[in-house]
């Protein structure tokens, strides 16, 4: 793993930067692409098969309006579709046509069989935090931390190629997980770095053998 990638938000094009990530070195992909760029989802599905370790998951946020189109576009890709999870923001009642924007779908694909610990809730209910959002399209850090903790129960490495405001790296720091994050816009990347810098790490990191694993 390139040392400059580890626990860093790197500015640049994810398609080029990801070429330096070694095969089967990533434990979880968790990211939020631009919804109307279906080609980014297709690229990510193909890249995931190379860089993910066996039996690992790829989680991708998508909007309700393009959910079906994305699933159809990925139908012939090597990743296996598992389910649609999601974040429900009870205090966000904006509407786009007849579609409510208070539900953000989270596509769950996998390489092998990811088997999240203790099975995750399909829909995680968390209001949008008060105050200024770190990025226009940023997701709830509580929802991200919930799914992150379910799919990666030890330190591991999380890959976020479209990090935006840095919610995934911040959640990784909160939970004591390692991460690699890319952001193509320099100004957005700098704001994300500042956010992660101001995020408090855990008081201690739970070792894998300390976890109460399911029978």
Confidence of residue 17 (pLDDT cuts 50, 70, 90): very high
Confirm if 85 and 109 have CB atoms less than 8 A apart. Answer: no
Q: Calculate the alpha carbon distances from 109 to 44, 46, 57, 85, 211 in Å.
A: 11, 11, 6, 11, 25
Mean pLDDT of 145-174: 93
What element of type H or E holds 60?
strand 52-61
Distance CA 33, CA 38 (A): 9
Confirm if 48 and 54 have CB atoms less than 8 A apart. Answer: no
Residue 208: pLDDT above 50?
no
Tens of pLDDT, residues 26-79: 999 999 999 999 999 999 999 999 999 999 999 999 988 899 999 999 998 899
Tens of pLDDT, residues 76-113: 889 999 999 988 776 554 444 444 567 889 999 999 88
Give the model's pLDDT for residue 204. 52
Predicted TM-score (pTM) of the model is 0.85
Distance CA 26, CA 15 (A): 16
Distance CA 97, CA 30 (A): 28
Domains of the chain and any CATH numbers: 8-202 (3.40.50.150)
Tens of pLDDT, residues 100-154: 567 889 999 999 888 786 566 677 777 766 655 555 556 888 889 989 999 998 8
Q: Which residues pair with 115 in a beta bridge?
A: none
- Counting DSSP H helices and E strands in the chain, the numbers are 6, 10
Q: Phi first, then psi: what are they for 76, rounded to 5°?
A: -100, 10
């Amino acid at each position: 793993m390139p040392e400059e990638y580890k626990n860093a938000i790197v500015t640049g094009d994810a398609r080029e930067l990801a070429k330096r990530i070694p095969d089967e070195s990533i434990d979880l992909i968790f990211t939020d692409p631009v919804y109307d760029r279906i080609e980014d989802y297709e690229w990510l599905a193909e890249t995931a098969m190379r860089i993910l370790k066996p039996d690992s998951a790829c989680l991708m946020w998508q909007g309700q309006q393009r959910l079906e189109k994305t699933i159809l576009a990925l139908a012939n890709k090597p990743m296996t579709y598992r389910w649609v999870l999601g974040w429900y923001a009870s205090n966000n009642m904006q509407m786009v046509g007849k579609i409510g924007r208070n539900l953000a779908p989270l596509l769950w694909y996998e390489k092998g069989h990811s088997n999240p610990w203790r099975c995750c809730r399909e829909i995680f209910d968390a209001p949008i935090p008060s105050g200024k959002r770190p990025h226009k399209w940023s997701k709830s850090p509580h929802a991200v931390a919930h799914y992150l903790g379910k799919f990666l129960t030890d330190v591991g490495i999380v890959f976020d190629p479209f990090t935006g405001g840095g919610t995934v790296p911040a959640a990784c720091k909160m939970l004591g997980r390692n991460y690699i994050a890319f952001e193509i816009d320099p100004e957005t990347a700098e704001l994300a770095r500042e956010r992660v810098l101001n995020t408090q790490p855990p008081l201690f990191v739970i070792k894998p053998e300390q976890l109460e694993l399911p029978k």
